[in-house]
Amino acid sequence: MTVVAAVIGVTMAAGALGAVSLTRSMLPAAAATKPDHVVVVIMENHGYSQIIGSSSAPYINSLANANALMTQSFAIGHPSEPNYLELWSGSNQGVTDDSCPHTFSAGSLGTQLLAAGLSVKGFNESMPADGSLACTSGSYARKHNPLADWTATADAAHDKTYASWPSDFTTLPTVSLVVPNLCSDMRATTSPRSLPARA
């Protein structure tokens, strides 16, 4: 049986990185099983109380109620890119702005998964092609796609467009990072309803 855990991350507009606390309403801790697949969907610029329990975000709330919900994860600062690098590697890698491009070989979630014989892929809305290293393309922004910044995952095998999202969830990698484009990631120009349908 394949178990898929979805983690919804909403980057707060302010605050410091706190200890990550996951709540899981489906199973008691003693009965929880190791998921075969973990899907992390990254949204931004809205606080927890603006999304969780909001009638404007029924789909996100249904995912949060049925899966894992990060309740104590906050932006480390502004602008966006250092937060994505922190999420992916535990460090901003010295980046304090939204500059592009960057290339890192330091450890990351991706390098650790690959070293352990597990799989990882990013699925990026509006990225022009699998493995693209473009800084921007239409509403795609590489600053939100940390896989493109690590030598171990900056290729067509790991860094994918939304078109590569599998219709059979049993073929998902061990960890999937879903990165909406600038029009779908809940920034100030979008609403909590904007979670991509493919996610």
Q: How many domains does the chain have?
A: 1
In a domain, 36, yes or no: yes
pLDDT tens digit sequence for 51-87: 899 998 898 899 889 888 888 877 888 899 999 999 9
In a domain, 176, yes or no: yes
- Determine the residue type at 192: P
In a domain, 18, yes or no: yes
Distance from C-alpha of 169 to C-alpha of 88, rounded to nearest angstrom: 23
DSSP string, 23-63: EESSS-GGG----SEEEEEEEES--HHHHTT-TT-HHHHHH
pLDDT tens digit sequence for 25-48: 455 556 667 889 999 988 887 788
In a domain, 156, yes or no: yes
> Taking Cα atoms as reference points, which of 135, 129, 89, 133 lies closest to residue 108?
89
Q: What angle do CA 139, 144, 148 make, to 5 degrees?
A: 105
In a domain, 90, yes or no: yes
> Taking Cα atoms as reference points, which of 169, 167, 145, 140 lies closest to residue 158?
145
In a domain, 94, yes or no: yes
In a domain, 101, yes or no: yes
* 126-148 mean pLDDT: 97
Q: What angle do CA 119, 126, 197 make, to 5 degrees?
A: 75
User: What is the average pLDDT score of the chain?
Assistant: 82
In a domain, 199, yes or no: no
pLDDT value of position 37: 93
Distance from C-alpha of 158 to C-alpha of 122, rounded to nearest angstrom: 6
Query: Taking the model in full, what pTM does it have?
Result: 0.78
The domain of 136 spans: 4-194
Residue 133: count other Cβ atoms within 10 Å of its Cβ.
16
